Every structure is written in C-alpha cells, then in structure tokens.
Chain A
Amino acid sequence: MNWITSYVRPKINSMLGRREMPENLWIKDPESGEMVFHKDLEDNLWVIPSSGHHMKISARERLKSFFDDGEYAVLENPKVVIDPLKFRDERRYTDRLRDAKAKTSMEDAVLSGVGRVEGLELVATVQDFAFMGGSLGMAAGEAIVRAFETAVERKLPLVLYAASGGARMQEGILSLMQLPRTTVALDRLKEAGLPYIVVLTNPTTGGVTASYAMLGDVHIAEPGALIGFAGPRVIEQTIREKLPEGFQRAEYLRDHGMVDMVVSRLEMRETIARLLKILLKEKVEAKPEIVEEVVVEEAEAVSDAAPEAEAEQPKA
C-alpha cells in the first residue's frame, strides 16, 4: 500500500506540529475583542468558546480532529513541476514557495488522509490557507485529483475542506487548468456512485468555488465563512456601491440556496458521519428523538418564509 507514507498518532503529531510561540499565548477574538488563551482555543478546535467565532485551523489539526482518535494515513501527493513559468513578481515564486513550506511544514496547500469518522472509512482532503492563501496550483490540483482517484479505487466517500483565495497566479494558465482537472476527477467519483461532501471554510473564493468547491453532493459551510466567486473588493470596485450586510458569508449563501447547512466545527464530524451513513445506506438503530429535533428546525424555517409567500399569493 504505497499511498501510506506515514501513520500519524495524535500525541506525536501534536508535539511535532505545535511549537512554542510565546508571543501568541493570548489570541484576540475578532468579533468581541476578548482575549482567549491559545491552549483553550486549540482544545476547542480554534472556535472561540464564548462567541462561537471560527478561526482558521491548519490542515493537520483539521484532519486530526476530524478522524476517529485523530488517526489517519496520509495520502502521498504526486510530484509536479515546480515553477513551470519561472515566475517572478516582486519576489521569485520559488522563494515564496520556500517560505510557505518553512512556515507550514507542508509541501503545498493540500493535505489528504484516509481514515475513519465515527467508524465510517473515508478520504478527507484539506486545503490549508496558511500555505500561500490555500491557492490552487498544479501541486494542489494534482493532490486533489489523487484524493478523488484514491476514493474511487477504494470505493470510499470523499470529504473536501475548501479554504482558498483562488487560483495560484504564479502558475498562470496551468493554475486555471486545475478547474477542469479537478472537475474531471470529481465527476468520476460521482459516476462511481460515491458521495462527495464539500465543507466550505473561511475563506473560499475565486477559481476554487468555480470548480470542486461548488460541485458537492452536499455543501456544508462553517459559520461566518466568506464564500464567493469574485472578492468583495472587486465587486465594490465594479458596481461602486456598498455591499449588503453579511454578503458572501456562509449564512447568506445558505439563505440564497447555495449551501445546504451551516454547521459548527465542533459538530462537523457527527454531521458528516450521519449524512454519509444515510447516503451509503448503512443500517443503524432508529432514534425517533433525533428525527423530532430536525422537524422542529424545518418548521421554523418554513414559518419564516410564510409571510412572503402569502403576500405573493393574491397576485396569482
């Protein structure tokens, strides 16, 4: 099984992954301004306990917290040509890459793993925003393609955590080509009858949304995540007016029909496992009280929409 390169144990991983950073001992909640002790945040998956604000989380921490007991097999990412365009802006692209690698100790922006979530085996692939804004270049694209291919080979569902500013401009057209390339890979997964769940995290914008991030069977978003094709600044410059409150946020997208649900990071495992087990028709004992809860939520949503629907009726 050559796709296994290392078998990560939670405790070892946490010792390796987290260095002492005394200057970051206390972290400020961007919403309330409250100072939170970093250990408390880490233990709460970087969700601020009092406000529920979701901070960014590294790909490693994400996978560790997602899989049962934090155990998963890392999927080896394919090698790609580095800096195919010999790109240079104010700095060399190769220098930027080297810095990003040093900062994240990742090879590029995507990390994938195979493991179990509430007992269900699946492939999870995660974009890390800390690596050049999670930008999609050849390495990330190829890693995503490999993740889908692995899922198809092993007949497993795939969960993708999106976090990206968009295409990696330093790879030019080859970056744009990752849109169709990843789309081919996910279409093959769907044709194999396997579920594909997208979790949209903060932020997911640009070319990534115009491909795999918006082609899931189910779209889940983390609270408050910025999700959109064009960035807010570009839109403001184009239309020269202020954007509406909450524009392009997770809840806004749910209300406009682009996202199925907004789910707290702390409930992500349970939600995805429940959904996948239903889609894969896994037999479990029925628990009526859970069904009741869902019905209550739905009823509220319907009653919210009712006045508008009634108002429109007389015209018909």
Chain B
Amino acid sequence: MYNYLDFEKPVADLEGQILELKKLAESGEAVDVADEIARLEKRSKDALIEIYRSLTPWQKAQVARHPDRPHCLDYVRGLFTDFTPLAGDRAYGEDNAVIAGFARFNGESVAVLGQEKGNDTQSRLKHNFGMARPEGYRKAVRVMDLADRFGIPLISIVDTTGAYPGIGAEERGQAEAIAQSTSRSLGLKVPNIAVVIGEGGSGGAIAIATANQVYMLEHSIYSVISPEGAASILWRDASRAKDAATNMKITAQDLMNLKVIDGIIPEPIGGAHRGPEKVLEATAAQIEKGFAELSGKEMDYREHRREKFLAIGRTL
C-alpha cells in the first residue's frame, strides 16, 4: 500500500477494492474473483494514467514531496559502488542533511553531494528533513575542493525544501555558506552534473545545483520559494499555494521551456515511488549520457558552466 495523495483518490479506492478481493480469495470465501481483480486492476491503471497525464503544478509539488518517493540515499545506493561518505566541515560540526563523499559510477571515480530528507521519523530527524545548516554547505565545499584537486567529476542529487531557518544557522552564516558553495560549484574545473530528484528549494538547493548539466525528474519541482511561502507573502494566504505553484512555473517541463535545465528524466506512471528501479535506471542512463557529451567536447568546464548560467534568461 502506498500513501495516497488527495487527487489519487479514485486509484486509492480501486486499489483498496483489489486488495480486499485478494484477501477474500486467499481466505477461500470467494468463488472466482480473478476476473474481477483483473478488471479492477485495468481500471485502476487507466485511472492512474489519466491522473498522471495531466498533473497540475501543485499536484506535481505533492508528488515531488511524496513520503514514499526515493530519496538521495536510495540514489546513492542504486547508482554507485564503493560509496564512502565523508563528514564534517572541519570548523564546527557535521550536518547529516547533506550527503557528501566519493564513490564509483560505472567503475569510474566520482564525487557525490546530495540532500537526504529521510523516510521515517527517526531518519527524518537525523537528516533534519533535508534542510541543511551552514556546516552542510561547508562540507560540500570541502568535497568540491577535493574533487577539483584530484580531477574527479561531481554528481549532485538535489532534494531539499530549503536551507534550515534557525538561530544557530543564521549565527554561523547560513547565507555566506550557501554563497560560497554556489561559487565553489560554479568554479569547479572538473565537470559536474546535478539532478533534482524531488524538491529544488531555492538557495538551499542552488548551493549544490550549479552544474554543467542540470536535469530534473519528470515530477520534481525547482523554485525560488515554496508555493506555500509565495502564497503567504503575495496573496497573504498560504492556502493559495496552488495558485502560486501555477504562476511561479516550478515544474520540470516549465524549467525546460525557460531553458533553465538541460533534460527531464522520465518517471513511471504514478511517480518515482511506483517504480524506484526504473527511475534509478533512467537516472543512471541520463548521467552517463551527460558525462559522455561533456567529455566528448574537450572543453573548459568552468567557462562552459559560467557562460551557461550567464545565458539563462537572455534568450527567452
């Protein structure tokens, strides 16, 4: 059973019926339910296809935040071998919201950065719901320094509501830490690729998302402020998040049209959580393709990245 989103109610009903029928069949009480199950399964699949064919931006935001959605560490486990996490910013502390380290991708050395939201109460607390503090961004800078020194390409897995808004985070220079991380990433001499797998939440996301190639999952979002935040500021009513989501253009498709990202990674019908293996496969294929294109060009990766970002918005 999945956690169902509001707009998935028709599917939830059908899948609930299927489950009950299956139980009946197992207990031997029902005579012949196989046909009925098959019929319901087809209906439920059709309903899912119908719903996911035309998700609104606000619905996509909910899919992007779906609790069952694969998170950063699922990608780390699925995409890489020999993953070796590193910890600490060498100045203040360790921040588990940011995953950082080295690994192998298709046998080749890579540096890895990402934000992990956690998938149960305990791990959510451990990873602070994917909301990084300054230490996390400073750890990211450390790993980017190492990647540059050893000439190792970097992969960023972006998934955060935003950087953590807290007293300590502010005192220790949250803004400065994000700015330095963005600057470091933009200045990398090695190639890098960023994939937004769920939420690309404002400055907290961009700190590790300025890459030679930036991809988004089909139902992920990337935004300057959360739809709720924009609604409460612009409409003075957080319940207008739906309008904010629509107006702000936050979906992968919108960002592709605005030429802010370089590609969209397809998700299974019903979202990444209904086929994690497929999503991992598609993501691996896209990253592989991205690096192949980049390395084929024999270029100055830093200049490429800088010019690419300067060009954003100049030709709309």
Contacts and interface: CB of A to CB of B under 8 A. Distances in A.
Nearest to A228: B170
Contacts of A170: 234
A214 B176 contact: yes
A172 interface: yes
Contact of A84 (B169, B170, B309, B316): B316
A234 B186 CA distance: 29
B260 A214 contact: no
A177 B260 CA distance: 8
Contact of B179 (A81, A188, A215, A230): A215
B62 interface: no
A77 interface: no
Contacts of A247: 167, 170
B157 interface: no
Interface residues of A, number: 53
Nearest to B206: A179
Contacts of B163: 210, 229-230
Which residue, B163, B203, B225, B235, has most C-beta atoms of chain A within 10 A? B203
A179 B243 CA distance: 25
B235 A207 contact: no
A214 B178 CA distance: 9
Interface in B227-249: 230, 233-235, 243-244, 247-249
Contact of B175 (A187, A210, A243): A210
Contacts of B309: 177, 180-181, 184
Contact of A180 (B166, B206, B249): B206
A211 interface: yes
Interface residues of B, number: 49
A176 B176 CA distance: 16
B5 interface: no
A167 interface: yes
B39 interface: no
Which residue, B165, B175, B247, B309, has most C-beta atoms of chain A within 10 A? B175
Contacts of B179: 179, 183, 209-215
Contacts of B249: 85, 172-173
Given A173-B258, A184-B310, A89 B176 contact: no
A172 B248 contact: yes
A288 interface: no
B220 interface: no
A180 B170 contact: no
A205 B306 CA distance: 25
Contacts of A206: 203
Interface in B292-316: 306, 309-310, 312-313, 316
Contacts of A244: 167
A240 B235 CA distance: 23
Nearest to B202: A176
Contacts of B258: 84, 173-174
B119 interface: no
Contacts of B268: none
Contacts of A180: 182, 186, 206, 210, 309
B173 A235 contact: no
A87 B245 CA distance: 11
B257 to A, nearest CB: 10
Contact of B316 (A81, A183, A238, A248): A81
Nearest to A209: B175
Interface in B220-278: 222-225, 230, 233-235, 243-244, 247-250, 254-255, 258, 260
A138 B313 contact: yes
Contacts of A85: 247-249
Contacts of A119: none
Interface of A is mostly: helix
A141 B224 CA distance: 14
A215 B183 contact: yes
Contacts of B213: none
Contacts of B225: 167, 169
A176 B173 CA distance: 19
A257 to B, nearest CB: 7
A170 to B, nearest CB: 8
Interface in B17-45: none
Contacts of A176: 202-203, 206, 223-224
A235 B234 contact: no
Which residue, B164, B224, B316, has most C-beta atoms of chain A within 10 A? B224
Which residue, A179, A234, A247, has most C-beta atoms of chain B within 10 A? A179
Contact of B234 (A142, A169, A213, A257): A169
B171 interface: yes
Contacts of A235: 165-167, 170
Contact of A230 (B174, B182, B224, B255): B174
A17 B192 CA distance: 48
Contacts of B286: none
Given A169-B234, A207-B224, A179 B171 contact: no
Contacts of A154: none
The list of the 10 closest CB pairs from A to B, nearest first, reads: A230-B165, A209-B175, A229-B175, A210-B203, A89-B234, A176-B224, A214-B176, A210-B178, A172-B248, A229-B174
Given A176-B206, A183-B179, A229-B203, 5 more contacts: A81-B316, A169-B234, A174-B313, A229-B165, A243-B167
Interface of B: 163-167, 169-176, 178-180, 182-183, 186-187, 202-203, 206-207, 210, 222-225, 230, 233-235, 243-244, 247-250, 254-255, 258, 260, 306, 309-310, 312-313, 316
